[in-house]
């Protein structure tokens, strides 16, 4: 039995959000109009104000919608302390896979987030702090717990590791078009995605495992 999709007001809200993500992602905030968002969503322009209190409101909602999903997924995977090295490996691999798929499924918001993080837009500063920075902190805490339990090297810096991991994943997603065009590989392909994650894990853990004979 199929689960029915959203209907009525919720369907309208989602249609507006999807349209706004696409237009803001391609054109930015200043070059996108409320009417264009409504037209792409196929609804009356007055519904943007009704549901989101105008252009700024729907812009913020794009980040909130995306960020909340990402934070919930991150906490689900990394929100508790690891109990073994193998568990660290598995859960970090799960996080990376889910992170990549979120980015691939939401390319417009990914582009938006990168752009706004660079300029530190005050319009979404609170959302960035409450959601996206919390994602980073969750990853940092997970790595810190793995270090404290001796699963990773004690001289490893969890913030630097987490930052490097984030940067590498975002870079791979942003340049997936080049991998597709020039190397005939794509993160959309599960086999290649798993191979990428395995390679990254191998590189990271080769340098993070405790050095034998050294505490």
pLDDT value at position 193?
Answer: 95
What is the sign of the dihedral through the CA atoms of 24, 30, 33 and 36?
negative
Domain chopping of the chain, boundaries: 1-53, 62-208
Helix (H) or strand (E) holding 93: helix 85-105
pLDDT top residue among 108 and 77: 77
List Cβ neighbours of 23 (8 Å cut-off, separation of 6 or more): 32, 36, 37, 40
Question: pLDDT, tens digit, for every residue of 122-181?
Answer: 888 899 889 999 999 999 999 999 999 999 999 999 999 999 998 899 889 989 999 999
Average pLDDT of every residue of the chain: 90
CB atoms within 10 A of CB 120: 9
Q: Determine the pLDDT at residue 8.
A: 80
pLDDT reported for residue 1: 43
Q: What is the pLDDT of residues 59-84, one digit of tens each?
A: 999 999 889 999 999 999 999 999 99
CATH topology for 62-208 is Tetracycline Repressor; domain 2 (1.10.357)
Rounded to two decimals, what is the model's pTM?
Answer: 0.85
What is the per-residue pLDDT across 164-179, written as a single tens digit (0 to 9) for each?
A: 998 899 889 989 999 9
Residue 7: the pLDDT is 56
pLDDT of residue 37: 97
Report which of 45, 184, 181, 24 is spatially closest to residue 106, judged by C-alpha positions.
24
The confidence score (pLDDT) of residue 210 equals 72
* Confidence (pLDDT) at 108: 84
Range with lowest mean pLDDT among 166-175, 187-196, 200-209: 200-209
Mean pLDDT in residue range 93-97: 97
Taking residues 184-212, what's their average pLDDT? 88
Which of 41 and 128 is assigned the larger pLDDT? Answer: 41
Q: Is 192 exposed, middle or buried (0-12, 13-18, 19+ CB in 10 A)?
A: middle
Position 2 pLDDT exceeds 80? no
Give me the pLDDT at residue 3, please. Answer: 43
Is residue 212 pLDDT above 70, yes or no?
no
CATH code at 1-53: 1.10.10.60
């Amino acid at each position: 039995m199929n689960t029915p999709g959203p209907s009525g007001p919720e369907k309208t809200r989602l249609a507006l959000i999807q349209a706004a993500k696409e237009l803001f992602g391609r054109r930015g905030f200043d070059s996108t109009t409320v009417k264009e968002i409504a037209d792409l969503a196929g609804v009356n322009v007055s519904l943007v104000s009704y549901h989101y209190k105008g252009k700024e409101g729907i812009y913020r909602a794009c980040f909130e919608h995306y960020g909340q999903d990402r934070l919930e997924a991150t906490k689900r995977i990394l929100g508790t302390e690891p109990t073994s090295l193998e568990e660290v490996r598995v859960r970090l691999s799960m996080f990376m896979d889910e992170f990549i798929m979120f980015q691939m499924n939401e390319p417009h918001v990914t582009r938006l987030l990168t752009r706004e993080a660079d300029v530190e837009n005050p319009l979404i500063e609170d959302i960035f702090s409450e959601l996206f920075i919390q994602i980073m902190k969750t990853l940092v805490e997970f790595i810190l717990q793995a270090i404290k339990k001796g699963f990773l090297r004690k001289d490893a810096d969890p913030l630097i590791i987490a930052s490097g991991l984030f940067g590498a994943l975002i870079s791979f997603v942003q340049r997936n078009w080049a991998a597709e065009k020039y190397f005939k590989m794509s993160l959309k392909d599960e086999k290649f995605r798993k191979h990428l994650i395995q390679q990254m894990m191998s590189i990271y853990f080769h340098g993070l495992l405790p050095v034998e004979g050294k505490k």
